[in-house]
């Protein structure tokens, strides 16, 4: 439980300090007409899966809690957490460049 709280508030602090100020951008992968938004709940799940496989099925509970807190921040604080594949709108990009 301590790991969950630490992960949640650390991610909240990081997001407020770096992402909202524009120092760090959100991660999008361009796939032609579509773009894939790599949310931090997806990255957290990937990290847990990778460590679980590499560490031969042993994960410290605190580590799992921290990563789960990061994942919970995305799901709890944002309404678009489920929007992973988005239509790539070229008109928006042209307007923002000009």
Q: Residues 24-44: pLDDT tens digits? A: 888 888 888 888 888 888 999
Are the beta carbons of 88 and 35 closer than 8 angstroms? yes
Mean pLDDT of 84-90: 79
Q: Residues 50-83: pLDDT tens digits? A: 888 887 667 788 888 999 999 999 889 888 888 8
Give the C-alpha separation, 59 to 44, whole Å: 14
Rounded to the nearest integer, the mean pLDDT of the chain is 83
Per-residue confidence (pLDDT) for residue 96, from 0 to 100: 45
Burial annotation 50-88 (CB, 10 A radius, 16+ → b, else e): eeeeeeeeeeeeeebbbbbbbbbbbeeeeeebeeeeeee
């Amino acid at each position: 439980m301590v790991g969950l709280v630490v992960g949640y508030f650390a991610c909240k602090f990081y997001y407020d300090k770096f992402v909202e100020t524009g120092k760090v951008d959100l991660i999008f992968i361009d796939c032609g007409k579509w773009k894939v938004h790599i949310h931090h709940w997806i990255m957290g799940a990937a990290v847990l899966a990778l460590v679980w496989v590499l560490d031969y099925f042993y994960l410290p509970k605190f580590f799992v809690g921290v990563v789960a807190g990061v994942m919970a921040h995305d799901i709890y604080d944002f309404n678009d957490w489920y929007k992973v594949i988005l239509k790539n709108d070229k008109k928006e990009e042209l307007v923002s460049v000009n």
